[in-house]
Amino acid sequence: MAVFTPVTLDDLIQWIPPFSLGKALAIRGISSGIENSNFFIDTERGEYVLTVFENLSFEQLPFYLELMRHLAQRGVLVPAPIANQQDQIINPLHGKPAAIVTKLEGDCQMAPAPVHCAAVGAMLAKMHLAAQDFSIRQPNLRGLPWWRETAPVVRPYLPADGQQLLRDEMAFQEAFAASDTYRQLPNGPVHADLFRNNVMFNGNQLSGFFDFYFAGCDTWLFDLAVTVNDWCIDLATGKLDIARVRAMLDAYHAVRPFSVAEQAAWQPMLRAGALRFWLSRLYDFYLPRAAEMLTPHDPGHFERILRQRVAHPAPNLY
Ligand SMILES: Nc1ncnc2c1ncn2[C@@H]1O[C@H](COP(=O)(O)OP(=O)(O)O)[C@@H](O)[C@H]1O
Ligand SMILES: N[C@@H](CCOP(=O)(O)O)C(=O)O
């Protein structure tokens, strides 16, 4: 997997002049993408990433790409979209929207240590603060309204104990979302999918967050819960690794101190973060999109995480 829309060097040479990147010298498809067609491109001004968007439209893309531009301009480490001479960052290529962004150096860190979790926590806090004055608003499209729609669709596929867990957790999250504590939580644009495979490291040095295509406005704590639930766990059991949790939370808190309401909301929010990905994985597993060619992610992983978070308290935020 997967280049869905082929782009040749000749295509690129024709297309790239308005970007002031000099001549296009080479193009290589990136095999690991699952949503879009991604390419590394060499130009006279250096190496960049070209993405041809397969599912998102010209109308939907500005939220994501303008958010990345906004963050990059404020020193948050994310791919910076390259504008053409008309200051446009989304341009048609083979009839689909396409964008060029800066290339992040390094690789994903799939076996993170506390040092990596601390770097992610600090950059996440910096990102939340920097996104506060971003002017485009879009809700998290995988938030509570989507859980409400999706839970009854996937529930019939589950065994009795899974159905019970899903029913109980939806009721718990509805009550949490209606609480005064929830209303006091700071919110704004969040990444909402900051898993290990969406962060690049150059050695132990974080080089950037990428894949912003689940971003939306939600509570900052939800973003942190999603991130902790992936970076700070034993993958086999879903149990939290206290040293990695502490490193991430302390580094986040040092940049953007947590509020009292956030402390009260932390345990329910870790459960919310697990429920969100349990639901999306159940949906992709039992109701795959037409022409889906991928092996779906295991929903059982997030069921285990959810059961863990229900049964065992996590370390306090501060
Ligand atoms: N800005 C970037 N800098 C460096 N590598 C990138 C960048 N964007 C994407 N990649 C590489 O391309 C791969 C696929 O990107 P991703 O955004 O996950 O694609 P998709 O949305 O199609 O799943 C990533 O795993 C990473 O190796
Ligand atoms: N992180 C999600 C899947 C989203 O896909 P991504 O590869 O684009 O991050 C999950 O693990 O369920």
Residues 245-273 pLDDT 10s: 999 999 999 999 999 999 999 999 999 99
Closest ligand to the CA of 34: 1
Within the chain, which residues score under 50 in pLDDT? 1
Q: What local confidence, expressed as pLDDT, does residue 290 receive? A: 59
- Fill in the amino acid letter for 265: A
Using the mean position of ligand 2's atoms as its centre, give its distance from the Cα of residue 281 in Å: 9
Give the pLDDT score at 1: 47
pLDDT at 125: 99
Q: What is the pLDDT of residue 3?
A: 79
211 lines ligand 1 (CB under 6 A): yes
Ligand 1 atom with minimal separation from the 37 CA: 22
Give 41-98 pLDDT, tens digit per residue: 999 999 999 999 999 999 999 999 999 999 999 999 999 999 999 999 999 999 999 9
193 lines ligand 2 (CB under 6 A): yes
Q: How far is CA 195 from the centre of its chain?
A: 7
Q: Rounded to an integer, what distance in angstroms lies between the CA atom of residue 198 and that of residue 206? A: 11
Count the neighbouring beta carbons within 10 Å of the beta carbon of residue 204. Answer: 11
Q: Is the CB of 68 under 6 A from ligand 1?
A: no
Cβ–ligand 1 distance for 49 under 6 Å, the answer yes
Nearest bound ligand to CA 300?
Answer: 2
- State the chain's mean pLDDT as an integer: 96
Does the Cβ of 103 fall within 6 Å of ligand 1? yes
Task: Name which residue sits closest to atom 5 of ligand 2, judged by CA.
Answer: 193
Q: From the CA of 38, which ligand is nearest? A: 1
Q: Which domains, and CATH codes, for the chain? A: 9-102 (3.30.200.20), 114-311 (3.90.1200.10)
Q: Could you give the CA distance from residue 130 to residue 73 in angstroms, rounded to a whole number? A: 9
CA distance 110 to 180: 37
| Ligand 1 lined by 294 (C-beta under 6 Å) | no
* C-alpha of residue 48 to centroid of ligand 1, in Å: 11
The answer to whether 8 touches 1, Cβ cutoff 8 Å, is no
